[in-house]
Amino acid sequence: MNDYRRMNRLLRNGAVFCALDTETTGLKPAEERIIEIGAVKFDANGIIDTFSTLVNPRVLIPHFCQELTGITNKMVFGQKEFKEIAGEFLEFLGEETIIIAHNAQFDLRFVNAELERMNRPPLPNKAIDTLRFSRWTFPENEHWTLQFLAEQLKIEVKAAHRAADDARVCMEIFKKCIEASADRQKSVISADSAFQ
């Protein structure tokens, strides 16, 4: 979903969103695995529910990933594999929820790769990339990383590079982008009339 001028309309007209973040063993979905999933479901009234779990990747976590995330092999040992938490995660997400993620293709490709290994279809959800949204909202920036934007927008970061907190920060960035682009957001009324 790239019509960023309609984000306020979606939020104000009752859409349910889910800010999603994954931590992984690397950058290649076909070869690497998810080690943590964090998700925050919300609407215009606030947070509806949260989902957070470590995931046993059944492979060793590279040292640089452990350094970045703080997630160690010991922490994921004995945790459930993705195929064991997939049902609960998909039920939490729901098919009508709009996914919000920073560099969304990264997280979606990893989740879909895990689903493909289970011979399940990819996520049907529409998605909004807050990386692209923030570039549209703050074109004067030189950086648009999650942590840079959090500092710029005065969003508290409690645990950087941990999925649950990154998802919460992503949700806050999404809301801040809507506020900051208010002059370019189509009003709820005009947006509604455009769809009639």
Is residue 63 annotated as a catalytic residue, yes or no? no
Distance of CA 189 to the CA centre of its chain: 28
For 57-92, b/e burial (b = at least 16 CB within 10 A) is beeebeeebbeebebeeebbeeeeebeebbeebeeb
The DSSP 8-state label assigned to residue 4 in this structure reads G
Residue 19 · residue 43 · CB < 8 Å: no
Catalytic pick among 63, 102, 143, 161: 161
Instruction: Give Cβ neighbours of residue 74 (< 8 Å, ≥ 6 apart).
Output: none
Query: In degrees, to the nearest 5, what angle opens at C-alpha 52 toward C-alphas 46 and 56?
Result: 165
Q: Hey, which residues are catalytic here?
A: 161
